[in-house]
Amino acid sequence: MIVIPGPSSLGLGWRIAEALGVEPHPVEHRIFPDGESYIRLTKPVAGEKVIIIQTTAPNPDSKLIQLLLMAETAKDFGADKIIAVVPYLAYARQDKRFLEMEALSLDVIINLLEASGVTDLVVVNIHNEVSIRAIEEKHSVKIHNLSAVSLLAEYLKGRGFDNAYSLSPDKGAIYIAEAASKILGGGYNHFEKTRDRKTGEIKMEVKNLNISGRGAVVFDDMISSGGTMAKAVEELIAQGAEKVAAACTHVLYMPGAEEKIRRAGADLILSTDTIETPFSQVTVAGLIATTLKGLA
């Protein structure tokens, strides 16, 4: 087995290699003056199971190209099996056509990975499981969609959020709040999320929760602009929550997002290391390593 931490996941890649008990082999990598990436593998891969770890943020386009360069090169040099670990998979938002003639972005990305020789794709918390399975059916790539929610809840439990109320940002993600509540206790529910089509303004509403004087946690798959999380936190504080945590798997760390959420009153912003940011207090290395051990 050859573990290759890609340029965008050096820290997590090393942690996964450590959890697997193998030596990591990072690639040689540089950026040409015009922004193109140069990639060279540093370990022969012929006949080997190759695991490439490369998240796709920030700068999703170049991170995806680097991933394809690594995979295709492993294929060219005779790798037996190529597993792509993409902890945060960009372009997964557009996992179905909402309007006619839109690009089906996730499908395009899976096509490219398949052509580069990837047989298994390990991702964390892509939110729409149904769409993933529909896209998976069209390809030979097997998609393993892991959830980091239990890890986030375990972390919070040890930090004063025992018995806190768990919430998901919408009804479709209620299973996330339910999973967290099994660890934190304290019950769970979901917001009703609506967006004004003209102004883009988000509303996060939830019935009276009876959380006065208690802790509450909002669990989302990602924080991008921070708008969704800020509105959710505001509402929980308006309902009397004593302290509120904003927990998510991926923080895209867009400018202003942190300020927005803190201004709303969040006591804690927490995420994993699928994308390394100052909020990455929880590692998904063990979770991913366990899945990789199960892949023949």
Query: Closest CB to ligand R5P among 70 and 230?
Result: 230
CA distances from 157 to 163, 181, 229 (A): 8, 10, 20
- Residue pointed to by tokens 């099994």: 182
The amino acid present at 147, given as its one-letter code, is S
Rg of the chain on CA atoms, in Å: 20
Q: How far is the CB of 138 from ligand R5P (least distance, A)?
A: 23
- Contact call for residue 95 and ligand R5P (CB under 6 A): no
Per annotation, catalytic residue among 96, 142, 171, 193: 193
Query: Closest CB to ligand R5P among 220 and 273?
Result: 220
Binding residues for ligand R5P, rule CB under 6 A, total: 12
Query: What three-state secondary structure class fits 258?
Result: helix
- The answer to whether 38 and 29 have CB atoms below 8 angstroms apart is yes
Q: How far is the CB of 221 from ligand R5P (least distance, A)?
A: 5
x/- letters, 198..237, toward ligand R5P (CB under 6 A) = ----------------------xxxxxxxxxx--------
| Binding-site member from 49, 63, 127, 250 for ligand R5P (CB under 6 A) | 127
Q: How far is the CB of 261 from ligand R5P (least distance, A)?
A: 9
Q: How far is the CB of 290 from ligand R5P (least distance, A)?
A: 25
Cis geometry, peptide bond prior to residue 58 (ω within 30 degrees of 0): yes
Query: Closest CB to ligand R5P among 62 and 225?
Result: 225
Tell me how far apart the alpha carbons of residues 112 and 291 are, in angstroms, rounded to a whole number: 23
Query: Closest CB to ligand R5P among 153 and 204?
Result: 204
Query: Closest CB to ligand R5P among 143 and 230?
Result: 230
Q: How far is the CB of 24 from ligand R5P (least distance, A)?
A: 31
Give catalytic status of residue 193 as yes or no: yes
- Contact call for residue 169 and ligand R5P (CB under 6 A): yes
- Contact call for residue 271 and ligand R5P (CB under 6 A): no
How many residues can be counted in the chain? 296
Tell me how far apart the alpha carbons of residues 176 and 148 are, in angstroms, rounded to a whole number: 10
Cis geometry, peptide bond prior to residue 26 (ω within 30 degrees of 0): no
Query: Closest CB to ligand R5P among 224 and 281?
Result: 224
Structure tokens at 278: 């100052």
Tell me how far apart the alpha carbons of residues 244 and 256 are, in angstroms, rounded to a whole number: 19
Query: What three-state secondary structure class fits 256?
Result: coil
Name, in order, each residue with C-beta under 8 angstroms of 278's C-beta and a sequence gap of 6 or more.
Answer: none
Label each residue of 265-287 as H, E or C. Answer: CCCEEEEECCCCCCCEEECCHHH
Q: How far is the CB of 167 from ligand R5P (least distance, A)?
A: 12
Where do contacts with ligand R5P occur on this chain (CB under 6 A)? 127, 169, 220-229
Catalytic residue numbers, as ranges: 193
